[in-house]
Amino acid sequence: MESQHISMVIISVTACVLGLLLNKYINSTKCEDCDENWITLDIKGLEEDFTNKLFGQHIASEVIIKALKGSSSNPNSQKPLTMSLHGYSGTGKNFVSRLIAQNLYRKGLDSKYVHVFVSTLHFPHVQFIDKYQSNLQKWIHGNVSQCARSMFIFDEMDKMHPGLINAIKPFLDYSSDVDKVDYRKAIFIFLSNTGGDKISEFTLNVLMNGKERESIKLSQLEEELSSTVFNKSNSGFWQTALIQSNLIDHFIPFLPLEFKHVESCVRAEIASRGKRISESIVTTIASSMVYYPEEKLLSQKGCKTVASKVNLYF
């Protein structure tokens, strides 16, 4: 009787495990839909990710959280949420875009409702600008008509032709619909290195004067950004309809990283590989990065090459 009971328990457990595996398989193969089962903003999860994975960006964290909260909770939004992220490479702009996608779409960046464009990859030839404009408008129109809560990420905006930037303008405007499609629930994120020098210079001055980077306020850097983004012919946004019509909701600065932030990036990278964190290795890897000025206060590449450096030790 005891052996029979054990056999029944094993069969029951096996059936349970198989059921869980089958349920997981069904969920993973189910077609993604444009509904709350697949698209729901996990603001708590995003806050935790910003706290545990994004380092040295107190301004960006606060502004983005508030912007997404406000946008998702407003049933009568007048336009799509449009955020422009500015700063040097390696400060976390692409990473933040990924975290937003992961906490909004169940499939993250793999969601068919998330669309990423890289200027030099998708729009490389100036002579084809007219074709790019037409294709881009059709792409945005077609995808938002399929799912109002689509997200569009444009990387290297500083290298994008002004004509292409202007092509996006109709979808960002204060309008209930364009060609019978409502864009007000969509999200547009622009990534740009423009203003990185101004942001870096301002941050460096703050640190050189013995103040903490957390003392820097958005209002202080908005003036620095505007002098570059709005008034430089190489900024990408220069004289575009997005600027002239005030269609970008938030210009968000990403500060250059300090040594301690690079150390945090190293720890996070090692932990993500399931390896034991050795503080001596963390310090060695972080120290191998290039810093500036002579006082070595700020990282030249941020956390961009951390993963490749960690490869040398694991």
Q: Which of 78, 249, 67 is nearest to 174 (CA)?
A: 78
pTM of the model: 0.87
Provide the 8-state DSSP code for 39.
B
What tokens does 165 get? 């930037």
d(CA 155, CA 174): 24
Domain ranges of the chain: 43-253, 259-310
Residue 234 is labelled as binding a ligand: no
DSSP tag of 213 = G
- What residue type is assigned to position 77 of the chain? S
CA distances from 155 to 194, 269, 275, 310 (A): 12, 23, 32, 26
- pLDDT value of residue 133: 95
DSSP letters spanning 118-181: EHHHHS--GGGHHHHHHHHHHHHHHHHHH-TT-EEEEE-GGGS-HHHHHHHHHHHSS-S-BTTB
Distance CA 314, CA 302 (A): 21
> Architecture of 43-253 per CATH?
3-Layer(aba) Sandwich (3.40)
Whether residue 29 is annotated as binding a ligand: the answer is no
Q: What are 60's two structure tokens?
A: 């960006």
- CA–CA gap between residue 287 and residue 195 (Å, rounded): 27
- What integer pLDDT is reported at residue 26 of this predicted model? 47
Residue 88 assigned as binding residue: yes
CA distances in angstroms from 2 to 87, 126, 154, 155, 303, listed in the order given:
68, 79, 65, 65, 60
Token output for 78: 């007048």
Residue 91 labelled as part of a binding site:
yes
43 CB-contact burial (10 Å; exposed 0-12 / middle 13-18 / buried 19+): middle
Contact 199/105 with Cβ under 8 angstroms?
no
For residue 3, the model assigns a pLDDT of 57
| 89 appears as a binding residue in the annotation | yes
- Cα distance between residue 147 and residue 187, in whole Å: 12
Q: Round to the nearest angstrom and report the end-to-end CA distance of the chain.
A: 52
Non-local (6+) Cβ contacts of 28 within 8 A are none
Contact status, residue 204 vs residue 298, Cβ threshold 8 Å: yes
Residue corresponding to tokens 């220069």: 238
In order along its 314 residues, the chain shows pLDDT tens digits of 555 555 554 555 455 545 555 554 445 457 999 999 999 999 999 999 999 999 999 999 999 999 999 999 888 889 999 999 999 999 999 999 999 999 999 999 999 999 999 999 999 999 999 999 999 999 999 999 999 999 999 999 988 888 898 899 999 988 777 778 999 999 999 999 988 999 999 999 999 999 999 999 999 998 777 767 666 555 556 567 777 778 889 999 999 999 999 999 999 999 999 999 999 999 999 999 999 998 899 999 999 999 999 999 98
**Of 142, 120, 139, the residue nearest 191 (C-alpha):** 120
